[in-house]
Amino acid sequence: MSGVLAWVVSSGVVQGVIIGAALAFLTTILILDSVAKAQTTTVNGWSSIRKAGQPGNGLLVRAALQKALPVVNVFEEAAYWTTSIDSAGKKLSGENAYRLHFAPGRLPPNDAFWSLTATDTVGYMVSNPSGRSSVDDHSGLVTNPDGSVDVLLQPQPPSGPEQNWLTAPTGRFNLMLRAYLPGAAILNGGYEVPPVVKVS
């Protein structure tokens, strides 16, 4: 028996199995990422996957979407958008200040609530002096004279109303916008999340 094991080790079978398993794993990751990308819609830098969680998805699509956006509701129950870039395509960074401008009547339509959350690049919320990592339709957002709403994204307190301030991490960060029981304009694809604009 020891002779067989010695032969297996010296013959390169073990190394071949390890290399084959590693290549299979990497190939699977590339395929899943490719399938998820094909199912992703990006507008104004915000990406969404409308088919996530649907029972009619095939096994490959379900696996790919679970990897891209794990543990989510179907789009009809909760719409999710994510971004890591500003309107110029640059990575979001706490070294800058940003504005998310919602035109009058263009906050995310819903029959429950919406929320905007800032996370680190892995997806974890980061503690900050304000104690807030999200703003939502219960934050008492102050409207502009024309009825529009600006959400201010930066690590330091803004000069504008603090109710509209979403404290950004000091390094690179991502944003997630969620609308629960999304309205018809979201479901039919007519609603677009505005771009994140760098202001300084």
What SS3 class is residue 167?
Answer: strand
Average pLDDT over the chain, rounded to an integer: 81
Helix extents (H) in the chain? 2-11, 13-38, 59-68, 184-187
Inform me whether the pLDDT recorded for 92 exceeds 70: yes
CA gap 120, 89 in Å, rounded: 18
How is the chain split into domains, by residue range? 74-198
Q: Identify the pLDDT of residue 127.
A: 77
Q: Identify the pLDDT of residue 34.
A: 56
Higher-pLDDT residue of 107, 49: 107
Superfamily of domain 74-198: Domain of unknown function DUF1214, C-terminal domain (2.60.120.600)
Q: Identify the pLDDT of residue 75.
A: 79
Q: Identify the pLDDT of residue 32.
A: 47
**Cβ proximity of 49 and 69 under 8 Å:** yes
Inform me whether the pLDDT recorded for 38 exceeds 60: no
Q: Could you tell me whether strands 41-43 and 46-48 are parallel, antiparallel, or unpaired per DSSP bridges? A: antiparallel
CA gap 109, 131 in Å, rounded: 26
143-195 pLDDT per residue, tens: 999 999 999 999 988 887 889 999 998 899 999 999 999 999 999 999 999 99
The DSSP 8-state label assigned to residue 115 in this structure reads: E
Higher-pLDDT residue of 98, 123: 98
Inform me whether the pLDDT recorded for 25 exceeds 70: no
Inform me whether the pLDDT recorded for 46 exceeds 70: yes
Mean pLDDT of 41-64: 70
**Cβ proximity of 99 and 151 under 8 Å:** yes
CA gap 87, 103 in Å, rounded: 16
- pLDDT > 90 in the chain, percent: 48
101-120 pLDDT per residue, tens: 999 999 999 999 999 999 98
**pTM recorded for the entire structure:** 0.77
Q: Identify the pLDDT of residue 48.
A: 82
